[in-house]
Structure 1
Amino acid sequence: MVNTSLERRTLLKAAGTAAGAAAVLTPLGLASPAHAATTVFQHGVASGDPLPDGILLWTRVTPTDESRPGSGLGPVVAVEWHVATDPGFAAVVRSGTVSTGPDRDHTVKIDVTGLRPATTYYYRFRYGATTSPVGRTHTAPAYDTDLAHLRLGVVSCANWEAGYFSAYRHLAARGDLDAVVHLGDYIYEYKTGEFAAAGRVVRPHQPANEIITLRDYRIRHATYKTDPDLQALHALVPWIITWDDHEFANDAWSGGAQNHDPATEGSWADRVAAAHRAYAEWMPVRLGPDARIYRRLRFGTLADLSMLDLRSYRSQQASGVAVDDPNRTITGHAQLDWLLSGLATSTTRWKLVGNPVMISRLDFGTLPAWSLGPLATLLGIPSNGYTVNPDDWDGYNADREHLVNFLRANRVSNVVFLTGDIHSSWASELTTRTTVQSPTAVEFVVTSVTSDNVDDFTHTPPDTLSLAIAGVLRAANPHVKWAELDQHGYGVLDVTPDRCRMDWYFVTDRTKADAGAYLARSFSVDNGVARLHEEVARLHEE
């Protein structure tokens, strides 16, 4: 039984087939590969972490029947790779050969360098006589480029068993994205049926058991990589990703997780090592020493993007006045210093932060605790009010206040947090108990691709109970400008020198593979301020 007392789903409750890789070629308008490509390269191709002079490329080969994911079997093989400036590969600019085998689950990762900034490239892999689907990617602009526009897809929380990844399909169909930012929960660790679509498994994942071992994590990653919509989006645009908890286990912290029992599931360190290794093999991401995933990418003079890791270094979740303890941390001291230094020294117009869990305060009750002054201390009330979700930054007040105070003291402006995790949509201004009338940054929270939210947990019709809950939350939290608790979908962040706008798109039915999508809401923040304003939603359906 899943204990939800320390997870983001508590907030919501308290508030009331594998497909062939040929599908990835459709958006490119290229010819479908031979059947052999869907057998050898059945997990598609991907790119990630664009730099001005380089890009990371990924694929997996299945050279023999026994070389299936997680098997630990099969031969060591040589795989060719080619990068060209045209989809027909008449102008190949980089190429090489790399070996792979069972020691890395037959995955292939190439960190290509020596490329031109702001350039579209096409890439492919070849094993023997079989060629992979063709992928398209592009490098970042040079750091000193006065970039006029940046558009990012933003996604989070894609649970295979809860539905289809239509959000990825609609993002792929746009054809106007510079990159996709994935904020975590790319996979889920649960056993079959433990966390599905309101209790119903739409499509069973593999393995059926909860994933704990290296073999388990490899098979689960492989299952996700067979989704045709996920493959399509990976093949069309580079991804910039970080992990949250479900890449390991629910409500993970540096020394354990809510969904990990050492008595029956073994060492937490062993489980994390297995998850890290499978993630490094299967994801198009650069990991540093000790599996460090926090890093920063830059897009000319317009924006940089700091991607955070809020699991590996955090203190264990707590409640009550413990959330104010300055010795507890969500980021770890080294990462927080890295983040603050990067924000203070950035020379870009916008400072984007890929933030896996919500940073904006949520007060509950008619009066926030900070307004009670000495009475709050007497009563033992946490300085930012009681929280039912200590897994978010609300459970780590000291880190949040240190960050906000630093931004104010150093006059760092144009900070935008991009957040996932809580399976709902929010537009908020970042304040603390001492900065209620003077926000320091803004936060855009995107909903889940498929994972359950309020109507699913409460088994109520959409836009009924959740509307009342959202109204109560907004009344108690004036810095929250919008909250929507029922829908599934994705975001599109549109950045210019003058403003940063998030468009929220919702899919019509996560349980249907052909679900449509529609633009639901848009909020913007202007250059030099930390105040949100709603834009009239442009009628748009996909």
Structure 2
Amino acid sequence: MTEPTATAPTARPARRQVIQAAALTAGALALPLAATAGSAAAVGGAQFLHGVASGDPLPDGILLWTRVTPGATAVPGSGLGPDTAVQWQLATDRAFTAVVASGTVTTTAATDHTVKADVRGLRPDTAYWYRFLAGDAVSPVGRTRTAPAADAAVDRLRLGVASCANWEAGYFSAYRHLAARGDLDVFLFLGDYIYEYASGAYGTRGTVVRPHAPANEIITLADYRTRHGRYKTDQDLQALHAAVPTIAIWDDHEFANDAWSGGAENHTPGAEGDWSARVAAAKQAYFEWMPVRPSIAGTTYRRLRYGKLADLHLLDLRSFRSQQAGIGDGDVDSADRSITGRAQLDWLKAGLAASDTTWRLVGNEVMISPVAFLSLPDYLLRPLAQLLGLPGEGLAVNTDQWDGYTHDRRELLGHLKDHHITNTVFLTGDIHSAWACDVPFEAATYPASGSAATEFVVTSVSSDNIDDILKVAPHTLSLVAVAAIQSANRHVKWTDLDSHGYGVLDITAERAQMDYYVLSDRTKPDATAKWARSYRTRSGTQQIERVSAPVN
């Protein structure tokens, strides 16, 4: 790597200027993809077919990612193809007349010909362009930005937020709309980036919109690599990764449904091999194919910071958790069971207590807000149970969520109270529905007991929700379930069980606001998006309130 030059930080453009430039930026990002794919195929055989990405912004660094295809047989998961030298370049202009850092990585079949460059020595809060070269092949061009300095006064932070993208169930239009905004600092993905099932086995409403590769359930390293490779061919996904840096955590489907430390609901020992071997394969493929730094013990739990405004505590709620308890099982309250594992919970508590930022954001795979499902008719109870992976009768709580690990939740919320920690916001995916909640100290006595934190849950990009399972029009039968949920859970301020889409979280010193956007039709590649609702929490309140319009 060459030493970065002492370029001055680029000033953040005015919000209006950024929005006006969004369409031009999105178009510019798309052009090299079409142009270089053809030229690379014509000269020397090397191609960049899976886009580019950046991730985990630091004040002085950024992680760059791509995958090179050195020849026709070197497809993802094949184990074929020669060692290939790939040069990366980072510049302060899109024309690459001011290259400030560069280097070469030799990638091989041992890493599925993926390429990562963890570039350091950069300027904080600075926009950069990057690309990769292999022989005569030139990759698409990506744009990224480093985080502000740790002590910087940051006026605003804006994150695109998404989760649960099932390739077979629909298109990734949510990613296209996020990419086209042009005003995001980062893209936060909260888990289920891929799905492990065999083709047609999960969440397609009876119709496979576009088939998985491989067609079988993924179990081996080659399988997971092939599935990641298929996802990375999506043009909307490529556009978003090229437009803005990514911060990602995994959930269960990056491994298998309802995963825990010793197994998963969708894993049969013997028939599908050893669980630890499957997890090792899934993790290896994940870190090869995602713009994510492996952190403590090779997991995704780690901490990032945006100046004095916010820090982001990213959790791994699959690698260390105890097996899910049965419905009605008193084990949900046992101190011997954990969703985080002891080391991660201590790490989270210490980080929250030591935080000196205005906001403490927690990237959280499964809901921490308690939810009781009561008084639902059978025709709604059963599809809701199917969505949540629970038995169809006697449903009280979702034991895959923090509801199944109440000792950990009480310890964490008690820690917030005892240390007077405010402005904690949980950002959650997993359950293919959108929610805005207070996180009560005691749900039974809320609001008198008070709220420890707030939680914004984003719906799925494409994975089935209630109307898909029932095969009915959105916001018809599900409204009965919504009314029952909110009646039984006064801390739940809003839920949408039917829509697909994404969120945009906008943070200032005064408030954190989540704007929820929904897609017109997940099965259409040109699906439109529209604003649906907005909720915010004001600094110091630990409470959710509705807002009449999205942030401009």
* TM-score with structure 1 setting the length: 0.90
Residue 205 of structure 1: how far off its partner (Å):
1.1
Contact 1:387 / 1:395 at 8 angstroms: preserved in 2? no
Distance in 2 (CA, whole Å) between partners of 1:322 and 1:208 is 38
Residue 386 of structure 1: how far off its partner (Å):
6.6
- Letter of the structure 2 residue corresponding to residue 465 of structure 1: L
Contact 1:25 / 1:133 at 8 angstroms: preserved in 2? no
1:195 partnered with 2:198: no
Query: CA 1:399 to 1:289, structure 2 compared with 1: closer, same or farther past 3 Å?
Result: closer
The match for 1:370 is: none
| Pairing of 1:269-280 with structure 2 (within 5 A) | 269-280=276-287
Contact 1:196 / 1:202 at 8 angstroms: preserved in 2? no
Partner SS, residue 451 of structure 2? coil
**Which residue, out of 39, 59, 63, partners 1:36?**
39
The match for 1:250 is: 257
The match for 1:116 is: 123
The match for 1:126 is: 133
Give the gaps of 5 or more residues in structure 2: 1-23, 376-393
Question: Which stretch of structure 1 is more off in the superposition, 286-295 or 462-471?
Answer: 286-295
Contact 2:374 / 2:396 at 8 angstroms: preserved in 1? no
Question: Which stretch of structure 1 is more off in the superposition, 236-245 or 30-39?
Answer: 30-39
**Which residue, out of 90, 94, 98, partners 2:101?**
94
The match for 2:421 is: 412
The match for 2:463 is: 451
- Letter of the structure 2 residue corresponding to residue 336 of structure 1: L
**Which residue, out of 442, 446, 458, partners 1:436?**
446
Partner SS, residue 265 of structure 1? coil
The match for 1:51 is: 58
Q: Any idea what the Cα deviations from partners look like across 1:261-302, whole Å, max 9, x if unmatched?
A: 012000000000100110111000000253121001000000
Residue 187 of structure 1: how far off its partner (Å):
0.1
1:159 partnered with 2:161: no
Distance in 2 (CA, whole Å) between partners of 1:351 and 1:499 is 12
Distance in 2 (CA, whole Å) between partners of 1:30 and 1:86 is 16
The match for 1:11 is: none
The match for 1:147 is: 154
The match for 1:205 is: 212
Distance in 1 (CA, whole Å) between partners of 2:228 and 2:366 is 22
The match for 2:487 is: 475
The match for 2:391 is: none
Query: CA 1:30 to 1:498, structure 2 compared with 1: closer, same or farther past 3 Å?
Result: same
Partner SS, residue 271 of structure 1? helix
Q: Any idea what the Cα deviations from partners look like across 1:236-274, whole Å, max 9, x if unmatched?
A: 100000000000000000000000001200000000010
Residue 228 of structure 1: how far off its partner (Å):
0.1
Query: CA 1:99 to 1:538, structure 2 compared with 1: closer, same or farther past 3 Å?
Result: closer
Residue 64 of structure 1: how far off its partner (Å):
1.0
Residue 24 of structure 1: how far off its partner (Å):
9.8
Query: CA 1:289 to 1:408, structure 2 compared with 1: closer, same or farther past 3 Å?
Result: closer
| Pairing of 1:504-523 with structure 2 (within 5 A) | 504-523=516-535
Q: Any idea what the Cα deviations from partners look like across 1:120-141, whole Å, max 9, x if unmatched?
A: 0000000001111111000000
Partner SS, residue 440 of structure 1? strand
Contact 1:295 / 1:306 at 8 angstroms: preserved in 2? yes
**Which residue, out of 355, 364, 369, partners 1:360?**
369
Contact 1:83 / 1:123 at 8 angstroms: preserved in 2? yes
Residue 93 of structure 1: how far off its partner (Å):
0.4
Contact 2:441 / 2:452 at 8 angstroms: preserved in 1? no
Distance in 2 (CA, whole Å) between partners of 1:538 and 1:329 is 37
Distance in 2 (CA, whole Å) between partners of 1:465 and 1:187 is 29
Residue 531 of structure 1: how far off its partner (Å):
1.2
| Pairing of 1:38-437 with structure 2 (within 5 A) | 40-319=47-326, 320=328, 321-365=330-374, 387-433=396-442, 436-437=446-447
- Letter of the structure 2 residue corresponding to residue 421 of structure 1: D
Distance in 2 (CA, whole Å) between partners of 1:193 and 1:346 is 45
Distance in 2 (CA, whole Å) between partners of 1:282 and 1:315 is 28
Partner SS, residue 444 of structure 1? strand
Residue 459 of structure 1: how far off its partner (Å):
2.0
Residue 539 of structure 1: how far off its partner (Å):
11
Distance in 2 (CA, whole Å) between partners of 1:137 and 1:84 is 10
**Which residue, out of 436, 448, 473, partners 1:461?**
473
Residue 406 of structure 1: how far off its partner (Å):
0.7
Partner SS, residue 529 of structure 1? coil
Q: Count the aligned residue pairs.
A: 501
Distance in 1 (CA, whole Å) between partners of 2:49 and 2:261 is 35
- Letter of the structure 2 residue corresponding to residue 487 of structure 1: S
Distance in 2 (CA, whole Å) between partners of 1:189 and 1:106 is 22
Query: CA 1:27 to 1:475, structure 2 compared with 1: closer, same or farther past 3 Å?
Result: farther
Residue 116 of structure 1: how far off its partner (Å):
0.2
The match for 2:547 is: 535
Distance in 2 (CA, whole Å) between partners of 1:509 and 1:83 is 38
Partner SS, residue 64 of structure 1? coil
- Letter of the structure 1 residue corresponding to residue 462 of structure 2: T
Q: Any idea what the Cα deviations from partners look like across 1:143-185, whole Å, max 9, x if unmatched?
A: 1111000000000000000000000000000000000000000
Q: Any idea what the Cα deviations from partners look like across 1:93-134, whole Å, max 9, x if unmatched?
A: 000111001010000000000100000000000000111111
Partner SS, residue 271 of structure 2? helix
- Letter of the structure 1 residue corresponding to residue 192 of structure 2: D
* TM-score with structure 2 setting the length: 0.88
Partner SS, residue 270 of structure 2? helix
Distance in 1 (CA, whole Å) between partners of 2:413 and 2:206 is 40
Query: CA 1:290 to 1:471, structure 2 compared with 1: closer, same or farther past 3 Å?
Result: same
The match for 2:27 is: 26
Identity among equivalent pairs (%):
60
Distance in 2 (CA, whole Å) between partners of 1:387 and 1:254 is 24
Contact 2:325 / 2:331 at 8 angstroms: preserved in 1? yes
Residue 536 of structure 1: how far off its partner (Å):
0.5
Distance in 2 (CA, whole Å) between partners of 1:396 and 1:105 is 37
Residue 197 of structure 1: how far off its partner (Å):
2.2
Query: CA 1:480 to 1:25, structure 2 compared with 1: closer, same or farther past 3 Å?
Result: closer
Residue 430 of structure 1: how far off its partner (Å):
0.3
Query: CA 1:331 to 1:190, structure 2 compared with 1: closer, same or farther past 3 Å?
Result: same
Distance in 2 (CA, whole Å) between partners of 1:422 and 1:217 is 23
Contact 1:463 / 1:486 at 8 angstroms: preserved in 2? yes
Q: Any idea what the Cα deviations from partners look like across 1:507-529, whole Å, max 9, x if unmatched?
A: 00000000000000000000111
User: Higher relative CO (CA 8 A, sep ≥ 6), structure 1 or 2?
Assistant: 1
